[in-house]
């Protein structure tokens, strides 16, 4: 077992995840007492059209460790992460996606690494997405794009399992991305600030319920525009 942290904030972004949210929260509540003395769980509903918010509120009523944040209307993945970062109150902050494609028990790997780093980012050892070829193509295009614009390279830039010290977030925030380019913004700013980033391998599981949106054309166009805005901000030293 890894070391036990004194305090830990955990948050999960959700969009139309009514079939996943209860299991995500229950898994976290089962594991967290073994890895942190004091903890909180933040469920972020990003304008879901199903019963995700209703279920989140029921979980919060049942468990004192859970808080709920709701966006109306849907704003995007980046906006959900921003809300999580802004509302997390403890010394260490971790998030994973709310689609059950990650095993939350692997947080122990992040806790072991965070003693040597400001930020710990996961990489999927073997991706198990639907439409895998398209997802791998987009992932590699993102790597090239980010290397050209921002000069950094990581194995899996947009893996939805990351851990931060609160002080690292204070150095690189606030964030402006509302969409998927939030992960590029995080890593670009962290690289500029010369923060120590450690990568750890994690398992990835097939999505059983809900729909992936990362390969949606609107999401891709929005990400490109946000990355160009970020590039201009950095070049003009507005960050």
Q: What digits encode the pLDDT tens for the residues 143-201?
A: 787 888 888 899 999 899 999 999 999 999 999 999 888 999 999 999 999 999 999 99
Q: Give me the pLDDT at residue 132, please.
A: 65
pTM of the model: 0.88
pLDDT digits (tens, 9 = 90+) for 95-141: 999 999 999 999 999 999 999 999 999 999 998 876 666 666 777 77
Token pair of 30 as six digits: 């089962």
Residue 213 has pLDDT above 60, yes or no: no
Token pair of 23 as six digits: 């299991």
Tell me which of 179 and 42 has the higher pLDDT: 42
User: How far apart are alpha carbons 163 and 90 in whole angstroms?
Assistant: 12
Which domains does the chain possess?
A: 5-235 (3.90.550.10)
Token pair of 119 as six digits: 């930020």
- Considering only 18-22, 142-146, 175-179, 217-221, which range has the smallest mean pLDDT? 217-221
Residue 210 has pLDDT above 70, yes or no: no
Contacts of 235 (CB under 8 A, 6+ apart): none
3-class secondary structure, 93: strand
- Give the model's confidence band at 1: pLDDT under 50 very low, under 70 low, under 90 confident, else very high: very low
Tell me which of 210 and 83 has the higher pLDDT: 83
Q: Give me the pLDDT at residue 229, please.
A: 79
Q: What is the mean pLDDT of the chain?
A: 90
3-class secondary structure, 153: coil
């Amino acid at each position: 077992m890894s070391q036990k942290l004194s305090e830990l904030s955990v948050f999960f972004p959700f969009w139309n995840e009514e079939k996943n949210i209860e299991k995500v929260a229950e898994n976290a509540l089962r594991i967290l007492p073994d890895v942190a003395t004091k903890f909180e769980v933040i469920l972020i509903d990003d304008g879901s059209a199903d019963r995700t918010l209703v279920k989140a509120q029921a979980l919060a009523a049942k468990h004192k460790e859970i808080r709920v944040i709701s966006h109306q209307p849907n704003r995007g993945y980046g906006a959900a992460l921003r809300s999580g970062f802004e509302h997390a109150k403890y010394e260490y902050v971790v998030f994973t996606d709310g689609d059950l494609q990650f095993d939350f028990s692997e947080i122990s790997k992040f806790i072991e690494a965070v003693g040597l780093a400001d930020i710990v980012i996961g990489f999927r050892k073997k991706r198990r997405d639907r439409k895998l070829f398209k997802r791998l193509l987009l992932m590699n295009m993102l790597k090239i794009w980010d290397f050209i614009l921002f000069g950094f390279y990581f194995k899996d830039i947009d893996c939805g399992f990351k851990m931060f010290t609160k002080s690292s977030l204070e150095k690189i925030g606030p964030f402006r991305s509302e969409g998927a380019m939030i992960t590029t913004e995080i890593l670009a700013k962290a690289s500029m600030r010369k923060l120590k980033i450690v990568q750890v391998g994690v398992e990835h599981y097939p999505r059983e319920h809900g729909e992936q949106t990362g390969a949606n054309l609107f999401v891709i166009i929005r990400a490109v525009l946000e990355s160009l805005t970020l590039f201009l901000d950095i070049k003009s030293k507005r960050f």
